[in-house]
Amino acid sequence: MLIVFAGQGGGTPTERLVAGAQHAAARDLIELGLQEPLIGHVFLATDAPVLQDAFDREPRVTVITDPRGEPFHFGARLRAIVDRPEVRFPLYFSGAAAPLIEASTLHDVCVRLLGGSSTVIANNLWSADWFGMVPGSALHRIALPESHDNAVPSRLARQAGLTPQIIDPAIGTIFDLDTPADLTILALHRGRRTHVSEFLDGADLPRDRYGATMPFLISQKAHLSLIGRVNTSIWGKAMTDIPGAKRLFVEERGMVAFGRDTAGEVRSLIGHLYQQVGPRQFFRIIGDLADAIFFDSRVLFQHLGLNLTPADRFASDLGDVDAIANEAARAFTRAAIEAHVPVILGGHGVVAGSLWALTQEAWERADDGTLPDLPDRPTLA
């Protein structure tokens, strides 16, 4: 049984941009699920009219809307669906969790779930985007999160005693759509599906800035810097899809799952350097160490105590300096965009699954002869 959650999203232009892509990805995911023989039915929990209208007449999709007057509680809503008598092997996905997942991978997850006993299957134990559980009643034995799905598998393992099965990392299992950075990378990727492709084709995204980093991703001569919640299971290995030298500045992995962000406990060595030297000198320093920089800015923002709105975070990702209300975030973004090497700003994805997807596309373009040659390294005047 496939369970998909997808919210309406915010009302600012950048929030609508991200939400629109997420809704398109949710449609692709549900249609993929309906093609899987082991998924008998889909439950779609959403307050987005575009999704309600898309599946309202599909007999194998039950659309569940928010009760009027009740605040949304993620865990309670999930448990209410899982408690339905017809739901025996619940498999939960955030609607934007897996826009590049392959049909064979979804089938394999279903096989594992159907053959499981007292287990939780997830793409990440500590910060999950999707997971399945047997039995579903285990949700009654954990503290249900109010707003995030990330911590559910770890709680099922620690508090309910389920045995975790973590799917081996792959682009299709860990790439998700959370930020404009993820949208831009998916817009460049040839593996995107129908609905999300149609949406992104008409979106105003900084494709050129991202494309400029692609030759560096596959060059043995290049030097790259990855900053933030770097996924070390991908990029910490001796052999990765990126053959060049990599500097990994890894900080605050799990800050959302463990609530360090909301508790004001995030601390960053990179953040201290930034505060000591200021935005422009900071990017001069780290720019001298790399040909391209992939920067999970959320750790720095939390370290600085900015408490940004989604609109400001997303505008920063896009490099839209004038749309950023927060003065400190505006200064950071301007310095990043004006740096002498390309800087890709985003959330966790730009140092994890999204970077992996961009690297895959770079290799594909190199193989078919459409990737530009490695540019000369810029120098400071």
| Domain range 2-173, CATH architecture | Alpha-Beta Complex (3.90)
pTM of the full predicted structure?
A: 0.94
Determine contact, residues 100/171, Cβ cutoff 8 Å.
yes
- 345-381 as b/e, with b when 16 or more CB fall inside 10 Å? bbbbbbbbbbbbbbbbbbeebbeeeebeeeeeeeeee
Element (DSSP H or E) covering residue 28:
helix 13-35
How many CB atoms lie under 10 A from the CB of residue 47? Answer: 14
> How do residues 60-119 score in pLDDT, each as one tens digit?
999 999 777 788 899 999 999 999 999 999 999 999 999 999 999 999 999 999 998 999
**Rounded-to-integer distance, Cα 27 and Cα 19, Å:** 12
Question: In the chain, what are the domain boundaries?
Answer: 2-173, 179-367
Q: Which amino acid is at 301?
A: F
> How do residues 113-152 score in pLDDT, each as one tens digit?
999 899 999 999 988 999 999 999 999 999 999 888 989 9
> How do residues 279-328 score in pLDDT, each as one tens digit?
999 999 999 999 999 999 999 999 999 999 999 999 999 999 999 999 99
**Rounded-to-integer distance, Cα 13 and Cα 222, Å:** 36
